[in-house]
Amino acid sequence: MQEKPKLNLDKSMAMFEEAKRISPGGVMGIRRPYNFVEGEYPIYLNHGYNGHIVDVDGNDYIDMLCAYGPIILGYNEPEINQAVIEQMEKGFCFSLVQQIQNELIKRVINIVPSAEMALLVKTGSDATSVAVRLARGYSGKDKILRHGYHGWHDWCVEVPGGVPTAIQELTLEFPYGDLEALEKLLKENKDQVAAIMITPIGHPLGQPVSAPPEGYLEGVRSLADQYGVVLIFDEIRTGFRVAMGGAQERYGVTPDMTTIGKAMANGYAISACVGKSEIMKVAEKDVFISSTFFPNSLEMAASMKCIDILEREKVLDNIWERGSKFLVRLKKIVADSGVPATVSGIPPMPFVTFDKTDHQYKQRRTRFYTETIRRGLFIQPYHHWYISYRHTDEDLDYALQVIEESLAVISKIY
């Protein structure tokens, strides 16, 4: 199989040079070029449509990163655009709230099993930080045991710079799938733990994605009960994706509190912290939560319409069905290639990781993602991929073809 020539990315690169002069690092966080393959991936996009994105140099890609999760339907959804325009015409940023807030909260309470009450905020980090503050306010305890990425705020950020040591020491991490390790932490910190926060699907950066092993979430639930700790599922990624009501609905384990975001509005910035009334009511007076922008309603209108479409078109059933077939074919392609790599994930969230026992795995990974981007498939080396509703069967067939060709190129690396 032939290596493909490099894409023309001149405009992206020029924009990035300018950005570095005016903003530290040019672009922020996970969108920085070193998180992809530097010099091979575009940095600036111009627009998106359905399951595709187009960069500023005019290159068109099938996008299986879906903006890191929010794009559950596709880009530029006419019905959502229309709902947002109608809300814009009424006004969406006021000194008081609008009725749509009640409507969306009622809907979320109906859908998410653990939701008796809800608070609407904007980003995933907002929602997880609200959950942690409520759990602390409710329990009067300070420590948080956690597994997963929960955002950039002080209580959970993994890069220690800028965060006081005293705050870092209050959050302790446990490995996914290991009940003994969790229980050990609970014992060592007895009567000091406010909450366990866990992503119910294990998706650590750069590592295989795990569906919950048999009995695992039930085990976490009973440890939380046994030690009197609030159990929070961080379903920012899995809410409205793994099932409408998130992984808790699909796997049948109900936490005390839940955070949702990303897929609930197909790209608009809205998230929620939901949970048992007894805990949520701490926010009536003892705990302060507020932002000028939390009640802004464009995102709420987008979310209402997104949920309409998800329900009306049974979008998640469709994604699971096509995602299951995709995973089966992906496994066969990877196995047949002979490349030391592992296919993991669940149907809406597939992933391929290169086995670290292979001494060439880094070179192989870099070359693989170089070949896939050059062939017009936008996937991420360290983050699992997503299937969206507007990915057509042809898109998914082409993605598999690209993966097969790219594996053939890297099978020659020794």
* Whether the Cβ atoms of residue 153 and residue 171 lie closer than 8 Å to each other: no
Which helix (DSSP H) or strand (DSSP E) does residue 18 occupy? helix 10-22
User: Which of 107, 237 has the CB closer to ligand PLP?
Assistant: 237
* Whether the Cβ atoms of residue 287 and residue 278 lie closer than 8 Å to each other: no
The count of residues interacting with ligand PLP (CB under 6 A) is 14
Judged by CB under 6 A, which stretch of 3-11, 134-142, 144-152, 314-322 contacts ligand PLP? 144-152
Q: How far is the CB of 176 from ligand PLP (least distance, A)?
A: 12
Judged by CB under 6 A, which stretch of 5-13, 146-154, 162-170, 184-192 contacts ligand PLP? 146-154
Q: How buried is residue 309: exposed, middle or buried, by Cβ count under 10 Å (0-12/13-18/19+)?
A: middle
Among 114, 125, 254, 372, binds ligand PLP (CB under 6 A): 125
Strand partners of residue 345: 350
Q: How far is the CB of 40 from ligand PLP (least distance, A)?
A: 23
User: Which of 56, 316 has the CB closer to ligand PLP?
Assistant: 316
84 binds ligand PLP (CB under 6 A): no
Q: Using the structure block, give the residue that is written with the tokens 């069905």.
A: 321
d(CA 372, CA 41): 10
User: Which of 260, 410 has the CB closer to ligand PLP?
Assistant: 260
Residue number with the smallest Cβ distance to ligand PLP: 124
Of 397, 402, 401, 396, nearest in space to 51 by CA: 396
d(CA 270, CA 70): 10
147 binds ligand PLP (CB under 6 A): no
d(CA 131, CA 225): 18
Q: How far is the CB of 71 from ligand PLP (least distance, A)?
A: 13
Window 160 to 219, contacts with ligand PLP (CB under 6 A): 199
User: Which of 29, 91 has the CB closer to ligand PLP?
Assistant: 29
Which helix (DSSP H) or strand (DSSP E) does residue 331 occupy? helix 315-337
Q: Determine the distance from the C-alpha atom of residue 346 to the mean position of all C-alpha atoms in its chain, rounded to a whole number.
A: 13
User: Which of 223, 236 has the CB closer to ligand PLP?
Assistant: 236
User: Which of 148, 345 has the CB closer to ligand PLP?
Assistant: 148
Radius of gyration of the chain (CA): 22
Locate 292 and state its tokens. 């000028």
Q: How far is the CB of 226 from ligand PLP (least distance, A)?
A: 25
Judged by CB under 6 A, which stretch of 106-114, 122-130, 359-367, 388-396 contacts ligand PLP? 122-130
Judged by CB under 6 A, which stretch of 111-119, 143-151, 163-171, 183-191 contacts ligand PLP? 143-151
Q: CA quadruple 105, 110, 113, 117: dihedral positive or negative?
A: positive
Window 228 to 257, contacts with ligand PLP (CB under 6 A): 234, 236-237
Q: How far is the CB of 135 from ligand PLP (least distance, A)?
A: 15
Complete DSSP assignment for 241-273: TTBTT-HHHHHT---SEEEE-GGGGTTSS-EEE
Window 263 to 292, contacts with ligand PLP (CB under 6 A): none
Complete DSSP assignment for 124-147: HHHHHHHHHHHHHHHH---EEEEE
114 binds ligand PLP (CB under 6 A): no
Among 35, 46, 76, 123, binds ligand PLP (CB under 6 A): 123
Label residues 350-384 b or e (16+ Cβ within 10 Å = b): bbbbbeeeeeebeebbbbbbbbbbbbbbbbbbebb
Window 9 to 68, contacts with ligand PLP (CB under 6 A): 68
Judged by CB under 6 A, which stretch of 33-41, 121-129, 220-228, 397-405 contacts ligand PLP? 121-129
User: Which of 98, 128 has the CB closer to ligand PLP?
Assistant: 128
Among 33, 42, 51, 148, binds ligand PLP (CB under 6 A): 148
Footprint on this chain of ligand PLP (rule: CB under 6 A): 68, 123-125, 128, 148-151, 199, 234, 236-237, 261
